[in-house]
Amino acid sequence: MSHAFRDLLKKVGSGAHTAKDLTRPEAAAATHMMLMQEATPAQIGAFMIAHRIKRPIPQELAGMLDAYDQLGPKFAPVQSTYPVTVLCSPYDGRSRTAPISPLTALILTAAGVPVIMHGGDRMPTKQGVPFIDIWRGLDLPLHHLALPQAQQLFERTGFGFIYIPQHFPAANAITPYRDQIGKRPPFATIELMWSPYDGDAHIVTGFVHPPTEEMARATYTLRGNHFYTMVKGLEGSCDIPRARTAIIALGKPDGTGFERLLLHPRDYGFGGEDVPLKDTPQLVKAMQQVLSGQASELMRSAIWNGGFYLWRCGVCKTIESGLVMAETLLINHTVAEKLEAVRSAIAELTLVTLP
């Protein structure tokens, strides 16, 4: 048993009237001890549920992210015309609406914006469709890549993926606790904000509840991350909805705060229902049709998201021109060619013959 961890656990788990917040260094130390398994399983589970009940504050989230920075993998910086964009989405996946982020990532990289994503396999408590299953369906065996190979892929193609079971086993090792406690621990919030890039990046965070956005903005301020985009997205993801107004916070890179954007899809001719998720094979088939330039509701969602992010990443001066560019990149097969370039690069790096 870790006596040092027990003292931190006592602070957050003492009850509604006597619990205390951790300092940033204390939160970093607690996270370090959990990731390194220096705390016992009983201590880790107790901390997760106690911290969830207490609710984390920005200084604690900042400390937890400090520990992730210290122990987790990072891509080395790359030269690029546009800032590296990190698309952060819930690790427990999607269960109701079709994920758009993989198509968004391909659109951005096809336009010269380096993109990093991260995630693992199916995750408690939601057990939704994870990104890695979608990439497998698109014949990208990203799970085969060791971290140096993933770095090479990022340098060659502008697309990087941190596969948690392979690249961050310490974080993956605490996954079973989520199933055992039956609730998302504060680590689920960290995953929405973590940037595995060793340099300044544009961090895109999805959220569901307004308090999450407020906490994340304050945490970014503490950590000096000023260039962020926070989206009240589909199922807490980075995906901008079409069935409702999107509420978006745009962090100003110069550190002067943020501005609120209410994005009405009907104002741009993209109103409609968000595409439902049926199963992974059907989703992959629909994505392949989008990549081939076939018109569909998923194509419209891809254009809607791609157009916004092309504007936000500085490729286009207006959202309208971003929408035009996103549609053009899909219809003229530039995005499909980017997918093939990533596929070929993986084959070369792993010496695997892809189907």
What proportions of the chain, in percent to the nearest 5, are helix, strand and coil?
50, 10, 40
- Residue, of 352 and 162, whose pLDDT is higher: 162
**pLDDT band for position 2 (50/70/90)?**
confident
pLDDT at 17: 80
At 1, which helix (H) or strand (E)?
none
Residue 353 pLDDT exceeds 70: no
Q: Are 340 and 288 in contact (CB under 8 A)?
A: no
Two structure tokens written together for 211: 């308090």
pTM higher than 0.85, yes or no?
yes
Residue 355 pLDDT exceeds 50: no
**pLDDT band for position 15 (50/70/90)?**
confident
Fold for domain 3-71?
Answer: 1.20.970
Each residue's pLDDT tens digit, 254-263: 989 999 999 9
Burial of 324 (0-12, 13-18, 19+ CB in 10 A): middle
- Which candidate, 351, 326, 330, places its Cα nearest to that of 339? 330
Each residue's pLDDT tens digit, 60-89: 999 999 999 999 999 999 999 999 999 999
Residue 172 pLDDT exceeds 70: yes
| Those residues with Cβ within 8 angstroms of residue 162's Cβ, 6 or more apart along the chain or in another chain | 73, 75, 116, 117, 118, 119, 150, 168, 196
Q: Which residues pair with 246 in a beta bridge?
A: 263
Average pLDDT for residues 200-218, to the nearest whole number? Answer: 94
Domain ranges of the chain: 3-71, 85-337
CA 218, CA 57: separation in Å to the nearest integer?
9
| Those residues with Cβ within 8 angstroms of residue 187's Cβ, 6 or more apart along the chain or in another chain | 48, 64, 171, 174
pLDDT at 200: 95
Mean of all residue pLDDT scores within the chain: 96
pLDDT at 354: 44
CA 70, CA 122: separation in Å to the nearest integer?
25
- Which candidate, 142, 139, 131, places its Cα nearest to that of 102? 131
Each residue's pLDDT tens digit, 276-323: 999 999 999 999 999 999 999 999 999 999 999 999 999 999 999 999
pLDDT at 351: 80
Ordered DSSP codes for 87-128:
EE--TT-BSSB---HHHHHHHHHHTT--EEEEE-SS-TTT--
Indicate the CATH number for domain 85-337: 3.40.1030.10
Query: What does the CA dihedral 172, 177, 179, 184 come to, rounded to 10 degrees?
Result: -90
Where do we find the tokens 């269960």?
A: 95
Average pLDDT for residues 96-106, to the nearest whole number? Answer: 98
Each residue's pLDDT tens digit, 222-256: 999 999 999 999 999 999 999 999 999 999 999 89
pLDDT at 352: 53
Ordered DSSP codes for 288-348:
HHHHTT---HHHHHHHHHHHHHHHHTTSSSSHHHHHHHHHHHHHTTHHHHHHHHHHHHHHH
Burial of 70 (0-12, 13-18, 19+ CB in 10 A): exposed
CA atoms within a 13 Å half-sphere pointing along the CA-CB vector of 148:
2
Phi and psi, residue 290, nearest 5°:
-60, -45
Q: Does residue 202 sit in helix, strand or coil?
A: strand
Residue 12 pLDDT exceeds 90: yes
